[in-house]
Amino acid sequence: MEKQSLPKKPRRLGESQLTLPVTDNQFLRCADLILPWLNAPELAAVSLTCKASSFISRSITLRRSLDAARSLENLPVPFLNAVDSKRYADFAYTPFQIPASSSPQPRQRWGGGASDAPASQFEMNVVGESMCGCECERCEEGYCQCLALAAGAEIVNECGSGCGCGSDCPNRVTQKGVLVRLKIVRDEKKGWCLCSDQLIKKDQFICEYAGELLTTDEARRRQTIYDKLRSTQQSFSSALLVIREHLPSGQACLRINIDATSIGNVARFINHSCDGGNLSTVLLRSSGALLPRLCFFAARDIAAGEELSFSYGDVRLTPGESTEKKLNCSCGSSCCFGTLPCENT
């Protein structure tokens, strides 16, 4: 007689083959507290150690790609890449100008879920702002008396923390963070590009250029380092912006160096366009602040999916000058010069 074998009892979810070893379970308990603090190379290295770390690393990478702003803005700003395998750009996020950091890239929690935002060390007021301003106690019916005082002024001013009015004051347009839907899209030639994810009306505020405030000596030191990195790493790009505030006479009276290479906001992804782009730039001060902020507004109606761009400047290398700093321009405009604006910092 042929011997019949009894059917095996089906395994339930969570038994033997799906149960992680005790060591993995212990790792899982603390991994979500540690791994979100790692940068991209470190996270990639940890993902190779075991299946559990690989799973957690992939989930962190996914969360990072869903919001470049780490919940520090009003709306998430996702990364979208159909060009290569790069899921996101690795940098620390700050919505405001901050003093220069002593660390090349300080640690910042990212990808660990809703608890990311409170862990940021960059939630602070605009650098240089003092507690003095207008005496408005409140703004009624969407009007602030400071708007009348600012009409026709050479320098654009907003109410600041020293003013008597509150956060609902209509003269605080740029202080409420990103209020339009944006996305960061990977381009084969340009790399990461900041694009609109909705219709943006003319004169609507987009964002400010946030990053580390540097002295001129520090800006020159860093630019030398960035030039060397670019010569050895083709994919490296810096985001050091030099701004000069001019008097009505046309003479420069103040130089501001903002470096968003390692610490910055979504503005670090705005590319140059030789035709001036679709953004207008405004130097703006909050009442009582010593230093102005560079803010971007829509120069015209911008369609959903359109790349955001502005002109980096007009200074370019002339024949006979060193070509070490020459950067090719891929803006694609009909008046493209072929090279990006460049000057000695």
Rounded to an integer, what distance in angstroms lies between the CA atom of residue 223 and that of residue 313?
17
pLDDT in tens, 210-257: 999 999 999 999 999 998 888 888 778 889 999 887 666 666 677 899
- At residue 90 the predicted structure's pLDDT band, cuts being 50, 70 and 90, is very high
Residue 14: band (very low, low, confident or very high) from pLDDT cuts 50, 70, 90: very low
Out of 11-20, 73-82, 307-316, the most confident range is 73-82
Closest CA to 244 of 285, 294, 298: 294
Q: Supply the pLDDT for residue 116.
A: 64
Residue 7 scores a pLDDT above 60: no
- Residue 268's pLDDT is what? 97
Q: What is the pLDDT of residue 123?
A: 44
Assigned CATH topology for domain 145-325? Beta-clip-like (2.170.270)
List of long-range contacts for 100-104, beta carbons under 8 Å, 24+ apart: 100/212, 100/213, 100/214, 100/215, 100/218, 100/259, 101/212, 101/262, 101/263, 104/262
**Mean pLDDT, the chain, integer:** 80
- Of 264, 279, 272, which is closest to residue 338 (Cα–Cα)? 272
Take residue 243 and report the two structure tokens written for it. Answer: 């701004």
Indicate the SS3 state at residue 236.
coil
38-41 CB contacts, 8 Å cutoff, 24+ apart: 39/90, 39/105, 40/88, 40/90
Q: What is the mean pLDDT of residues 175-189?
A: 94
pTM: 0.82
| % residues pLDDT > 70 (the chain) | 74
Q: Return the percentage of the chain with pLDDT > 90, whole number.
A: 41
Give one DSSP letter per residue of 19-46, joined into a string: PPPHHHHHHHHHHHHHGGGS-HHHHHHH
Tens digits of per-residue pLDDT, 303-332? 999 999 998 877 555 545 555 557 778 887
Residue 129 has pLDDT above 60, yes or no: no
List, for residues 19-68, the tens digit of each pLDDT value.
545 555 666 778 888 899 999 999 999 999 888 889 899 999 999 999 99
Largest separation between any pair of C-alpha atoms in the chain: 109
In this prediction, residues 274-294 reach a mean pLDDT of 85
Closest-CA residue to 160 (of 292, 298, 295): 292
* Amino acid 25: pLDDT: 61
> What tokens does 82 get?
């159909």
Contact (CB, 8 A) for 138 and 165: yes
Whether the CA torsion 332, 333, 334, 335 is positive or negative: it is negative
Average pLDDT estimate for 84-105: 89
